[in-house]
C-alpha cells in the first residue's frame, strides 16, 4: 500500500471539503434532480423545440423608442401631442422598409378602467399621416411620430406601441416604452359672481338668480368618493352690508344643492343631506357639537363630483337664501367688504 505523505493528504482533504461545499448549493436546488433525470432520459416537462428555417426575408426590427420632453402636460380643454422617434433596421436594406406602414398608438389600463387608445395610424385614419421617416442609412430608417391626446386623458404612464411592415408584409412591433402624462387639475367657473333678487325681512327659500356652473377641463377626476375626499370643496365668507358694515348675513343662512336627480326647489331642503349642504361649520365644545362662532363655511359640497371626461364633466350648483334675518337693514350685501367665495379642488 502506497502511503500518502501528510502534506498531500491535507491538501486532498481540503479539496474534498471544498468540493462538498461547492456542490451542496447546486444539489439542494429544488429542480436539480429533475433536471439531471430529464437531461439523461430525454424526458422533460419543458417544451423542447427544434426549428429548421429557410430564410428568404430579413424581418424588420424596431429598435429603442426615444421619447422627447416626457412627461407631457395636458392643456386645459384642448388637445396636446406626445413626440417620440424609433429606428427600424432591415437586413434586406432600407428600401425594404415601408414608410407608410409606420404607425403607433398609446394606451393605458385595461378592461373597464382603460383609457381610450390614442393613435397615429393610417390604417385606421389615413388623414393622420402616420409616423414619418426622417433619415435613412444602408439598412435603417429613423422615424418620428406624434400622437394627439385630449385634456381628459388620464395622468400617469401610457404604453407606447409602434409597428412597421417590410415590403413582403412581414411586420415588427416594439411595445417596450412608456411615456408619462402629467396631472392637470383645471376648472372653469361661470358666472364670476352670484346675485339674489330683492328680498324682504323674514323671507325664506329664495333662489339665486342663476346657478353656478363648474366644468372640469383637466384630467383629474373629482370622483365624489368619500374615502379620497374628492369632492368639490367650498369656502363661504359672511356677507357684509355695503353701506353699513356692522350688519351682516352669516353663511349659515345659505345652502348649496347639486342638481343630481333633484327637483328645482330641493336645494333649499337641508334635510336632503346627500345633495344639499347648509353653509355652516360645527365645532365641538363642552356641551357637544355647536355652530361655528365664525359664521363662515369651509367644507365639501355634498353629492358633488366632476369626472374628467368628454361629456358630463360638469357640476351645476344651486344656491338658496334659506332665511332672511329679521335684523337686517335695507342695503346691498356682498363680499366686497369681506372676501370672495371659492370653489376649491384638491
Partner 1 sequence: MVKINIIILSMFLLVILSYNVNSFGVSSPYWDENPLYVNPGEIKEITMVLQNMVGDQDMKVIADLDSGKEIASLLDKSTTYNVPLGSSSIPVKIKINVPENAKPGQEWQVGVSFKTIVESSGGVGIGGAVSKGFKVIVKEEPKTTGSVLKIAGGLEPLTGFLVLIAILIILVLIIKHFHKKRVIKE
Kindly state whether residue 316 participates in binding partner 1, applying the rule CB under 8 A: no
What is the C-alpha to C-alpha distance for residues 184 and 307, in angstroms, rounded to an integer?
A: 13
Between the CA of residue 74 and those of 81, 136, 189, what are the distances in Å?
Answer: 9, 32, 19
Question: Least Å distance between CB 43 and partner 1?
Answer: 14
Which residue, 77 or 168, has its beta carbon nearer to partner 1? Answer: 77
Using the rule CB under 8 A, give the single segment among 121-129, 167-175, 284-292, 325-333 that binds partner 1.
Answer: 325-333
Which residue, 274 or 340, has its beta carbon nearer to partner 1? Answer: 340
Region 117-176 residues binding partner 1, contact defined as CB under 8 A: 155-156
The Cβ of residue 193 has, within 10 Å, a number of other Cβ atoms equal to 11
Kindly state whether residue 225 participates in binding partner 1, applying the rule CB under 8 A: no
CA-nearest of 169, 174, 166 to 145 is 174
Using the rule CB under 8 A, give the single segment among 82-90, 98-106, 142-150, 204-212 that binds partner 1.
Answer: 204-212
Question: Least Å distance between CB 238 and partner 1?
Answer: 11
CA-nearest of 171, 174, 189, 160 to 84 is 160
CA angle 212/214/219 to nearest 5° reads 175
Question: Least Å distance between CB 103 and partner 1?
Answer: 28
Kindly state whether residue 5 participates in binding partner 1, applying the rule CB under 8 A: yes
Which residue, 79 or 116, has its beta carbon nearer to partner 1? Answer: 79
- 15: which 3 cell numbers? 479539496
Kindly state whether residue 31 participates in binding partner 1, applying the rule CB under 8 A: yes
Using the rule CB under 8 A, give the single segment among 68-76, 125-133, 142-150, 289-297 that binds partner 1.
Answer: 68-76
Kindly state whether residue 25 participates in binding partner 1, applying the rule CB under 8 A: yes
Which residue, 35 or 125, has its beta carbon nearer to partner 1? Answer: 35
Kindly state whether residue 312 participates in binding partner 1, applying the rule CB under 8 A: no
Residue 232 host element (H or E) = strand 232-236
Question: Least Å distance between CB 148 and partner 1?
Answer: 15
Backbone angles phi, psi at 223, to 5 degrees: -80, -15
- 61: which 3 cell numbers? 426590427
Kindly state whether residue 200 participates in binding partner 1, applying the rule CB under 8 A: yes
Region 34-63 residues binding partner 1, contact defined as CB under 8 A: 35-36, 39
Backbone angles phi, psi at 36, to 5 degrees: -60, -45
What is the C-alpha to C-alpha distance for residues 118 and 99, in angstroms, rounded to an integer?
A: 20
What is the C-alpha to C-alpha distance for residues 192 and 278, in angstroms, rounded to an integer?
A: 21
- 164: which 3 cell numbers? 412597421
Question: Least Å distance between CB 321 and partner 1?
Answer: 8
Kindly state whether residue 273 participates in binding partner 1, applying the rule CB under 8 A: no
Region for residue 295 given its phi and psi (left: phi exceeds 0; alpha: psi -120 to 50; beta: otherwise): left
Kindly state whether residue 75 participates in binding partner 1, applying the rule CB under 8 A: yes
Using the rule CB under 8 A, give the single segment among 57-65, 171-179, 210-218, 280-288 that binds partner 1.
Answer: 210-218
Using the rule CB under 8 A, give the single segment among 12-20, 81-89, 103-111, 115-123 that binds partner 1.
Answer: 12-20
Question: Least Å distance between CB 78 and partner 1?
Answer: 6
Kindly state whether residue 109 participates in binding partner 1, applying the rule CB under 8 A: no
Decide: 183 and 134 in contact? Cβ < 8 Å: no
DSSP string, 274-301: TTEEES--EEEETTEEEE-TT--EEEEP
**Max CA pair span of the chain:** 128
Distance separating the N- and C-terminal Cα atoms of the chain = 90
Kindly state whether residue 21 participates in binding partner 1, applying the rule CB under 8 A: yes
Out of 148, 185, 281, 298, name the contact with partner 1 by CB under 8 A. 185
Amino acid at each position: 500500500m502506497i502511503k500518502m505523505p501528510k502534506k498531500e493528504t491535507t491538501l486532498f482533504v481540503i479539496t474534498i471539503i471544498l468540493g462538498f461545499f461547492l456542490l451542496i448549493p447546486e444539489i439542494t436546488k429544488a429542480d436539480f434532480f429533475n433536471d439531471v433525470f430529464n437531461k439523461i432520459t430525454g424526458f422533460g416537462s419543458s417544451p423542447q423545440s427544434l426549428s429548421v428555417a429557410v430564410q428568404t426575408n430579413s424581418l424588420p426590427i424596431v429598435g429603442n423608442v426615444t421619447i422627447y420632453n416626457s412627461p407631457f402636460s395636458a392643456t386645459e380643454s384642448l388637445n396636446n401631442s406626445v413626440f417620440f422617434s424609433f429606428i427600424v433596421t432591415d437586413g434586406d436594406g432600407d428600401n425594404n422598409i415601408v414608410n407608410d406602414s409606420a404607425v403607433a398608438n398609446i394606451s393605458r389600463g385595461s378592461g373597464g378602467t382603460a383609457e381610450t387608445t390614442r393613435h397615429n395610424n393610417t390604417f385606421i385614419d389615413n388623414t393622420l399621416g402616420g409616423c414619418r421617416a426622417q433619415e435613412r442609412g444602408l439598412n435603417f430608417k429613423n422615424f418620428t411620430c406624434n400622437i394627439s391626446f385630449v385634456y381628459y386623458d388620464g395622468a400617469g404612464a401610457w404604453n407606447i406601441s409602434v409597428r412597421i411592415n417590410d415590403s413582403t408584409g412581414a411586420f415588427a412591433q416594439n411595445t417596450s416604452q412608456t411615456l408619462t402624462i402629467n396631472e392637470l387639475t383645471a376648472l372653469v367657473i361661470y358666472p364670476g359672481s352670484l346675485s339674489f333678487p330683492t328680498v324682504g325681512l323674514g323671507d325664506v327659500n329664495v333662489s339665486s338668480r342663476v346657478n353656478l356652473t363648474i366644468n372640469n377641463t383637466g384630467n383629474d377626476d373629482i370622483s365624489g368618493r368619500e374615502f379620497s375626499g374628492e369632492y368639490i370643496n367650498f369656502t363661504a365668507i359672511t356677507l357684509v352690508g355695503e353701506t353699513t358694515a356692522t350688519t351682516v348675513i352669516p353663511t349659515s343662512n345659505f345652502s348649496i344643492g347639486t342638481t343630481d336627480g333633484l327637483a328645482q326647489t330641493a336645494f333649499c331642503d337641508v334635510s336632503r343631506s346627500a345633495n344639499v349642504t347648509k353653509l355652516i361649520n360645527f365645532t365641538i365644545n363642552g356641551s357637544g357639537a355647536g355652530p361655528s362662532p365664525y359664521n363662515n363655511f369651509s367644507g365639501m359640497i355634498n353629492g358633488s363630483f366632476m369626472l374628467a371626461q368628454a361629456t358630463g364633466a360638469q357640476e351645476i350648483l344651486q344656491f338658496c337664501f334659506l332665511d332672511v334675518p329679521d335684523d337686517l337693514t335695507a342695503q346691498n350685501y356682498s363680499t366686497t367688504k369681506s372676501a370672495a367665495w371659492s370653489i376649491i379642488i384638491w
